[in-house]
Amino acid sequence: MNNTIAICPGSFDPITIGHLDIISRSAKMFGKVIVVVMSNINKKNSGSFTVEERVEMIKKSVADIPNVEVDHFEGLLADYAKLKNAGAIIKGLRAVTDFEYEFQMALTNKKLNPEVETLFLTTSAENMYLSSSMVKQIASMGGDVTEFVPQAIHNDIIKRLRKEV
């Protein structure tokens, strides 16, 4: 295990098992992983959960992984990486559709902070289709999201999103 600090950034609105898979695989490769909730300018007013709720749900989901910390930050990812002395930003790649946007962000972050490398982990095949917005839509329409979200936060999500509960 190397002692580079790695950051897993995202909106996490809410965290899914796809995110958790990327976080736990990162935790096996890096001495310390910081999961940080940030704003995505393209999703600005579409948040369903507050930043505090997202942080709490991530904390519950990673409670059994000792080298993972959870944080939130309003600002640039490149600045946060500098602040935390991080050497790596880890992103999960689901499909070709993710690639162009992620590639643009990786190059921009490299320009803003040359000390940090962006690394892409391919998502596990069973999570290819999964996204926070799918989870929200399914839960809010009464569907079963048991297999899509960490078990520790399943009830939180149902309570909050399922209209009839």
Q: Given the rule CB under 6 A, which residues bind ligand PNS?
A: 9-11, 38-40, 43, 76-77, 105, 108-109
Catalytic-labelled residue, pool 11, 26, 61, 132: 132
Query: Would you call 84 a catalytic residue per the annotation?
Result: no
State which residue, 115 or 144, has the beta carbon closest to ligand PNS. 115
State which residue, 26 or 109, has the beta carbon closest to ligand PNS. 109
Query: Are the C-beta atoms of 6 and 87 separated by less than 8 Å?
Result: yes
Catalytic-labelled residue, pool 28, 43, 46, 159: 43
User: Whole-number minimum distance, CB 98 to ligand PNS, in Å?
Assistant: 8
Query: Would you call 124 a catalytic residue per the annotation?
Result: no
Query: Would you call 32 a catalytic residue per the annotation?
Result: no
Radius of gyration of the CA atoms of the chain, in A? 15
State which residue, 83 or 165, has the beta carbon closest to ligand PNS. 83
N-to-C CA span, the chain: 44
Query: Would you call 132 a catalytic residue per the annotation?
Result: yes
State which residue, 106 or 144, has the beta carbon closest to ligand PNS. 106
Residue 99 identity (one-letter amino acid): F
C-alpha torsion 42→48→53→56, nearest 10: -70
Can you list the alpha helix ranges (DSSP code H) found in the chain? 17-29, 51-61, 77-83, 96-112, 132-140, 154-161
User: Whole-number minimum distance, CB 120 to ligand PNS, in Å?
Assistant: 13
Query: Are the C-beta atoms of 115 and 82 separated by less than 8 Å?
Result: yes
Catalytic-labelled residue, pool 11, 19, 26, 61: 19
Tell me how far the alpha carbon of residue 165 is from its chain's centroid: 27
User: Whole-number minimum distance, CB 133 to ligand PNS, in Å?
Assistant: 10
Catalytic-labelled residue, pool 59, 60, 82, 94: 94
Give catalytic residue positions. 19, 43, 94, 132
